[in-house]
Amino acid sequence: MKRVVLLAAFAGALALAGCNDKKTAEAPPPPHELTDAAIGHYCGMNVLEHPGPKGQIVLASRPEPVWFSSARDAISFTMLPEEPKDIRAIYVSDMGKAPSWSEPGTKNWIDARQAFYVIGSRARGGMGAEEAVPFSEKKAAEAFAKDNGGRVVAFSDVPKDYILGAGEATGSVEEPAPADAPQGRGAPAAGQQHHAH
């Protein structure tokens, strides 16, 4: 009887070790640096030409990432049934580490599934539509929401209808207050907008 129990325990330990090896072997690939060669999957335009957070999705079926002019577009890719499902990694700009809204950075990527998002703010993304503004730290997301409106949610709590049915492109982009800006500074006065290029 003891022998059977020991053999079962040994077999279980081997199975767990195999699972751990598999997880290590399948670690997600790192994010790519954003360059002027990145073209938005949905807009067909140079991603660097747009303000606000960006996204990239790494697929098993292709060596280069799929680029997005907004974090919202990257999330929508994961929700649309017609898009590929061999996703190995999803990255979005960490706006808490972005130089500015108009220059969100080329290397400050975070795992989209671990980010905190501000939805429903007055900030407009790359194509002038409502944005899901990502942050690696909840405090930074809360500060941004305090300055720009909206609420903070996790990746799994971003409403599908917000992503797929969010506001139409308006051709203008709000320059939001940065998450670390003093209250009342960094954001335009109500109704003041900057026009997208």
Q: What is the pLDDT of residue 17?
A: 52
Residue 154 lies in a domain: yes
Structural domain contains residue 5 = no
**Predicted local distance difference test score (pLDDT) of residue 26:** 79
Cross-sheet strand order for the sheet of 116-119: 133-135, 116-119, 151-154
pLDDT of residue 177: 72
User: By three-state DSSP, how is residue 147 classified?
Assistant: helix
Q: Is residue 88 domain-resident? A: yes
- What's the structural domain count of the chain? 1
Domain membership of residue 2 (yes or no) is no
Residue 123 resides in a domain: yes
**Residue 75 backbone class (left: φ over 0; alpha: ψ -120 to 50; beta: rest):** alpha
C-alpha dist (Å) from residue 172 to 45, 122, 188, 197: 16, 12, 13, 9
Q: What would the two tokens of residue 191 be?
A: 């109704």
Q: What is the pLDDT of residue 49?
A: 92
CATH value at residue 45:
3.30.70.2060
Beta carbons of 132 and 75 less than 8 angstroms apart: yes
44 inside domain: yes
In this predicted structure, what is the pLDDT of residue 176? Answer: 78
Question: Taking the model in full, what pTM does it have?
Answer: 0.75
Tokens 């129990």 locate to 5
The per-residue pLDDT string of the chain (197 residues; one tens digit each, 9 = 90 and over) reads: 555 544 444 455 555 555 554 555 678 999 999 999 999 999 999 999 999 999 999 999 999 999 999 999 999 999 999 999 999 999 999 999 999 999 999 999 999 999 999 999 999 988 788 999 999 999 999 999 999 999 999 999 999 999 998 543 333 345 677 655 433 323 333 333 333 33
**Residue 181, pLDDT score:** 42
3-state secondary structure of 93: strand
How many residues appear in the chain? Answer: 197
| Domain enclosing residue 167, as ranges | 34-184
Residue 66, in any domain of the structure: yes
Cα–Cα–Cα angle for 103, 119, 106, rounded to 5 degrees: 20
Q: pLDDT value at position 182?
A: 34
- The tens digit of pLDDT for each residue in 119-150 reads 999 999 887 889 999 999 999 999 999 999 99
pLDDT at 6: 46
Confidence (pLDDT) at 178: 63
